[in-house]
Structure 1
Amino acid sequence: MDMQLTGKRALVTGSSSGLGQAIAEALAREGVTVVVHGRDEARTKGTADRILAEGGRVEVTVGDLSTAEGAQAVADKALSAGTIDILVNNAGAYDQVGWMDATPEIWAETYQTNVLSGVRMIQSLVPRMRESGWGRVIQIGGGLAAQPMSAQPHYNASLAARHNLAVSLARELKGSGITSNTVAPGAILTDAVRDLLWQIAPAHGWGDTWEEIERAAAESWVPNDANRLGRPEEIAAAVVYLASPHADYISGATLRVDGGTIRHVN
């Protein structure tokens, strides 16, 4: 299917690795000029080099979106070559801190990194989208927004905020030609997740081979109907679809790509 994205420009925040990298590469394959973003210059340029090697068009912007100054610098660089038509707010962070150890300061830092970073990008880039009469804003959320665990309460809450602001933004953008949606991944097999599973597998008795470990993790750690972990490319495919003109009639929606992890949401 022709996704009709050739000639568009996209900023994918947090695209120096993991899900963001897969999203940036998938958009580039559809003819999008992708602005790759990260905090580490070498890693960010590494993603850009991968896209260039495949014949894609790419630009680079480096900065910390959790600060107003850093976010403004990133936005200015992204806009310096033209309007950003597609904004993918992927940048974020999580940890393994529980309720009693998650201090108010940690909550505030998480909110800055996972929520306000996206707000800053929206406020910087959406006005130019309005002028052109077309645009896409896509948040990368997660199932924990709707069905949180006892662990990582600050992270769960930040995901819920990302889901909520996407719907509010869709209402704000009514009739503008710009849509606002969320892609909600389940457990996705990034390099970091693979490393984590290898580390914790012996304690859980999940087996010795990767096939055994993934199957056991999908049964007991993140139960889902697909009986496996998702791949970054599957999240990227959902983003590409929502970014395309084929999704003109979708706004304020959450597209779950989680293998059936989330069974029911009130």
Structure 2
Amino acid sequence: MDYGLAGRRALVTGSSSGLGEATVRLLAAEGAAVVVHGRDEARAEAVAEAVRAGGGRADVAIGDLATDAGADAVAAAALAAGPVDILVNNAGSYRDLSWADATPGEWRDAYEVNVISAVRMIGRLVPAMRERGWGRVIQIGGGLAVQPMPGHPHYNATLAARHNLAVSLARELAGTGVTSNVVSPGAILVDAVKDFITGLAPGRGWGETWEEIEREAIARLMPNDRGRLGRPQEIAGAVLYLTSPLADYVSGATIRVDGGLIRSV
């Protein structure tokens, strides 16, 4: 199938590992030129080299999006080889803190990294999309935006802000040819999640093999209809759909890729 990505360029923030890496790999495989972003140049270059080795086109942009200077550097690097047609705001951070430990400073830092970073990139890249009459802006959100847990309240709130700004942006871009949507992952099997779960397993009697541990962790911590963790490629697939002509009529939407974790209409 032709997803219409030939001639398009995509910047995926936070794409030197995890969900972002899976996304740039898939977009590149489908014909887009991709910009791999991270703060560690060696890691970002490694992902870009892997894309090139597979026949894709990849550039690298390095910078800390929690600062204006970092966002300027990333935007300049991303635009150096041509306009950016697709912006996937994936970069973010997570700290597992209680209400008692989540100080105002922690809240401020979380918003800088998880929300304002996306606003910075929207401000630098979306006006040109509007002028060209085509573009795709996708926020990577999460189910905690609508069903928050008692823990890590600062993180829950930043996800809600991401979902909210995506809908506001969609309204702002009505009639321009640029869409704004959200992909909302559930618990996804990236290295940090696997390390966290396997660290809990011995003390909770979840078994010894990964298959046993994953099954028990899902049942105890994050029950869903599929009975497993999601894979990064499944998030990337939802992003790919939103960039394609199949999604021309999708605006201000949230696509949940969570195995049925979030129970809502």
Tell me the equivalent position of 1:16: 16
* 2:140 equivalent to 1:140: yes
Tell me the equivalent position of 1:27: 27
Tell me the equivalent position of 2:192: 192
**Residue ranges of structure 2 left out of the alignment (5+ in a row):** none
Distance 1:147 1:68 in 2: 31
Query: Alignment partner of 1:137: what SS?
Result: strand
Tell me the equivalent position of 1:211: 211
Tell me the equivalent position of 1:114: 114
Tell me the equivalent position of 2:159: 159
TM-score by length of 2: 0.99
Tell me the equivalent position of 1:97: 97
Distance 2:52 2:82 in 1: 19
* 2:225 equivalent to 1:222: no
Tell me the equivalent position of 2:46: 46
Tell me the equivalent position of 1:72: 72
Query: Alignment partner of 2:65: what SS?
Result: coil
Query: Alignment partner of 1:37: what SS?
Result: strand
Tell me the equivalent position of 1:127: 127
Distance 1:215 1:25 in 2: 28
Instruction: For residues 135-194 of structure 1, give each alpha carbon's deviation from its aligned partner in whole angstroms, at most 9, with x where no partner exists.
Output: 000000000000000111000000000000000000000000000000000000001111
Question: Taking every aligned residue pair, what percent have the same amino acid on both sides?
Answer: 66
Query: Alignment partner of 2:139: what SS?
Result: strand
* 2:121 equivalent to 1:86: no
Letter in 2 for 1:20: G
Instruction: For residues 17-73 of structure 1, give each alpha carbon's deviation from its aligned partner in whole angstroms, at most 9, with x where no partner exists.
Output: 000000010000010000000001111111111111111000000000000111011
**Residue ranges of structure 1 left out of the alignment (5+ in a row):** none
Query: Alignment partner of 2:189: what SS?
Result: coil
Distance 2:53 2:217 in 1: 35
Distance 1:192 1:53 in 2: 26
Distance 1:193 1:203 in 2: 17
Query: Alignment partner of 2:60: what SS?
Result: strand
Aligned length: 265
Instruction: For residues 63-91 of structure 1, give each alpha carbon's deviation from its aligned partner in whole angstroms, at most 9, with x where no partner exists.
Output: 00000111011111111221100000000
Please provide the CA RMSD for this pair: 0.7
Query: Alignment partner of 1:131: what SS?
Result: helix
Tell me the equivalent position of 2:256: 256
TM-score by length of 1: 0.98
Instruction: For residues 229-256 of structure 1, give each alpha carbon's deviation from its aligned partner in whole angstroms, at most 9, with x where no partner exists.
Output: 0000000000000011210000100000
Distance 2:10 2:81 in 1: 11
Letter in 2 for 1:255: I
Letter in 2 for 1:67: T
Letter in 2 for 1:262: I
Tell me the equivalent position of 1:247: 247
Letter in 1 for 2:22: A
Letter in 2 for 1:241: Y
